[in-house]
Chains A and B, each alone.
Chain A
């Protein structure tokens, strides 16, 4: 019973907030609703018994990706009136894309119900009940699919290097702090004792 209540609650929140993502007038509100949608779908994952994936969804998407989304959207200076102007013009295009998505989703759900191309294969699942979620994923990920795992890692590495090279700039006339130099600095490098006769002192030119 509790699972049922939790499912309907989370599903309703996810659907409503998904709807509000596209209808909210303020883009920042859209991102906030998107975060709520992510969070509720993570709750649905927990109900499915995939608590590891649920936590990863929250850590990666909600905790990191959506923060950067919000970061960018908050900085944008969006003119809401201008944003609404092209509504009628883009409506047909939007409707076509929505229709294509709908058809694809129907096809996918039919395929899932019928078993699809993989109907004859055994479903990958936990080897037995005592094995935790994390262990079950780890066992297949690092054995059967290790090459795909490594390939995905390399793709991400390339994306990261690409992002760094695109944004890395060395400005010539900029002062940078080098903490190593600062820490290694001692009296001999920074202070010099100039001879000064008693009663006469030294003039500024002599010090240079």
Chain B
């Protein structure tokens, strides 16, 4: 049997997919370990502190030390807790956080599953993410976690609406829900990126699409329960919200899921609005390069954009005070939802009457 046909057999396909999944999981985990440190360093920098700087050079190994510490501690399960749900909740959070990465294209063709409904898949998986938090809060059988999980349920359902409507703008312009195709349609100079109008036919839409990318960024903060929208775990009111009763590895899983989601949202902003792996500069000189150099450039471009948005998210954490609950709901339902609805109407009108089919 020659090797080409082996990879086409069910066994070969399973092996290759498991390999890709492992590669992405490990890659994302290592990236998250260092981004978590970067998050703490940025936060410390804004507050004129040094941040973690003891474990390893510049504190680079801090996240690994934290992980070992969490894993070695004892798992405390409250007596009144619903044991099964209590343990399942953080596992669900972390699994769903990693599931979404299956459709993220890292470079041309570098994607585990090139779904035609990639964006809907992401939307479905991120809407499931709320279950980890609700289940954790309910199963703890304690007041603060329960309040935290109720807040989180309302918050995530509200901001999903505006996230979805903003994504519809991009889908309308790209004409596809396949993420690789969406990134591919932003090829060329940076003004082809949807955040900057999306190219020759639709450049005046920059007045709508750039604000939409900002609203997407803010909604992503709310969707990932990041400050200033970290009401589910508001430490000044709810101690730590849904995580109060969690300790050791289950807590680690919650934190890991949260950070994987944040990195994922940064990746989504760069894919949908800022060109993904497209460098946004003339690319003709890259044609002569060997494939592996070209792909490294694509991968690095994507990573730099993702890290840029991650740093933005962590700076917001340091700058902005926490929203009150009614302010959060007002922002979501009374400002973002109507704004993004109007944007969908204008973008689709432009698509039909100016660009044509």
Q: Are B134 and A52 in contact (CB under 8 A)?
A: no
Given A28-B138, A32-B135, A51-B117: A67 and B124 interface contact (C-beta under 8 Å): no
A55 touches B138 (CB 8 A): no
24 contacts between A and B (CB under 8 A): A1-B10, A2-B10, A2-B13, A28-B82, A28-B138, A51-B115, A55-B117, A56-B120, A58-B124, A58-B127, A58-B128, A59-B120, A59-B123, A62-B128, A63-B123, A64-B127, A64-B160, A67-B134, A71-B134, A71-B154, A74-B146, A133-B117, A134-B117, A179-B327
Contact, CB under 8 Å: A62 / B127 = yes
- Contacting residue for B127 out of A1, A29, A63, A134, CB 8 A: A63
A134 lies within 8 A of B157 (CB): no
Whether B160 pairs with A63 at a CB distance below 8 angstroms is yes
Question: How many angstroms from the CA of A1 to the CA of B117 in the assembled complex?
Answer: 24
Shortest Cβ distance from residue A143 to the other chain B in the assembled complex, whole angstroms: 14
Contacts of B10 in A (CB 8 A): 1-2
- Asked whether B120 lies within 8 Å of A52 as measured between CB atoms, the reply is yes
Residues on B with C-beta less than 8 A from A75 are: 150
Minimum Cβ distance to chain B for residue A56 (Å): 7
| Chain B residues within an 8 Å CB radius of A63 | 123-124, 127-128, 130, 157, 160
B131 touches which one: A35, A133, A179 (CB < 8 A)?
A: A35
Q: Is there a chain B Cβ closer than 8 Å to A70's Cβ?
A: yes
Residues B116 and A55 in contact, CB atoms below 8 Å apart: no
CB distance from B225 to the nearest CB of A (A): 15
Q: How far is the CB of A62 from chain B (nearest CB, A)?
A: 6
B311 at the interface (CB under 8 A from A): no
Bound Cα distance A179, B117 (Å) = 39
- Chain B residue nearest to A39 (CB atoms) is B128
User: Do B120 and A67 touch across chains, with their CB atoms under 8 A apart?
Assistant: no
A contact set with B: CB distance below 8 Å: 1-2, 26, 28-29, 32, 35, 39, 42, 51-52, 55-56, 58-59, 62-64, 67-68, 70-71, 74-75, 132-134, 177, 179
- Pairs of residues from A and B, 4 with the lowest C-beta to C-beta distance, nearest first: A63-B127, A55-B120, A58-B124, A132-B116
- Tell me whether B326 is interfacial, beta carbon within 8 Å: yes
Q: What's the interface size class on B, roughly?
A: 20 to 34
The CA-CA distance from A101 to B75 in the complex, in Å, is 47
Contacts of A134 on B, CB cut-off 8 Å? 116-117, 177
B1-45 contact mask (Cβ, 8 Å, vs A): 1 or 0: 000000000100110000000000000000000000000000000
Q: Mark B97-116, 1 if CB is under 8 A from A, else 0.
A: 00000000000000000011
Complex: A29 Cα to B116 Cα, angstroms:
34
Asked if residues A59 and B127 are in contact (CB atoms below 8 Å), the reply is yes
Measured in the bound complex, the distance between the Cα atoms of B136 and A32 in whole Å is 12
- In Å, the complex CA distance between A83 and B354 comes to 62
Is B300 part of the binding interface, using a Cβ–Cβ cutoff of 8 Å? no
Chain B neighbourhood of A177, CB < 8 A: 326-327
With both chains docked as a complex, state the minimum distance between the C-beta of B324 and any C-beta of chain A, in angstroms. 9
Chain B, range 114-157, C-beta contacts under 8 Å to A = 115-117, 120-121, 123-124, 127-128, 130-131, 134-135, 138, 146, 150, 153-154, 157
